[in-house]
Amino acid sequence: MALDEALLEAVASLGRPVLRFFSWVEPAATFGYFQRYAEIARATQLRPLIRRPTGGGLVPHDADWTYSVVIPPTHPWHALNAVDSYRRMHEWICAAFARLGVATELANCCRKTAPGQCFVGWEKFDVLWQGRKIAGAAQRRNKLGLLIQGSVQPPPMGLERKGWENALSPASYHKLELTAEIHTRAKTLAAEKYFQPAFNARR
């Protein structure tokens, strides 16, 4: 979470979008910036609970595939409204699955059974596979840029994560070497914010 926020702060100076893949070293859960900690703590036994810099609902992390996309303010995606950027992100996800021979679709309506829990039911433009939601995302847009954090969980059987990452990466993708300044900023945000119980339980 700290690195994604540091990338959002830096993306304007980087001058181009950043696609990042990451995974979890232990089971955990993230929840949207505006959600109430007490409600999240009752909804899942997963610990730790980490407040995201983006919105959205409760997302369990164990065997899921997680990614983030950071868009500079000069990019056309930054000018999209939240619905359109969400749809476009998940069209990209569907196209990656199609390259691997997996048929997915975007939800054309909503189906919620547990408010605040991202993968119980679905919202419009979530990614569905065989009638269940497998991919969702959360966003934060400000003058610095656009941050999209997403999760695919659990992935369709038989797929390997590396193959999916390659399918998702644009043909023009170039590996970004993160600067020492970004790493330092991420460490500061982690220590002063995301590791702090006062931040995660602030609401």
- CATH number among 3.40.640.10, 3.40.50.2300, 3.40.50.1010, 3.30.930.10, domain 13-177: 3.30.930.10
Cα dihedral 104, 110, 115, 119 in deg (nearest 10): 0
What is the pLDDT at residue 76?
95
pTM of the model: 0.94
pLDDT at position 122: 85
- Which parts of the chain have pLDDT scores under 70? 113-119, 171-174
Tokens describing residue 67: 């990614």
Domain ranges in the chain?
Answer: 13-177
Q: How many CB atoms lie within 10 A of CB 176?
A: 14
Name the amino acid, one letter, at 108.
N
The C-alpha atoms of residue 142 and residue 109 are separated, in whole angstroms, by: 27
Residue 118 among the catalytic residues? yes
Please write the tens of the pLDDT for every residue from 17-63: 999 999 999 999 999 999 999 999 999 999 999 999 999 999 999 88
Helix (H, G, I), strand (E, B) or coil at 79: helix
- Looking at residue 145, its pLDDT comes to 98
- Active-site residue, from 94, 109, 110, 118: 118
Tokens at 1, concatenated: 């979470």
Identify the pLDDT of residue 173.
Answer: 67
Burial class (CB within 10 angstroms; exposed 0-12, middle 13-18, buried 19+) of 103? exposed
Residue with tokens 């619905």: 83
Cβ proximity of 33 and 55 under 8 Å = yes
Amino acid, res. 181: E
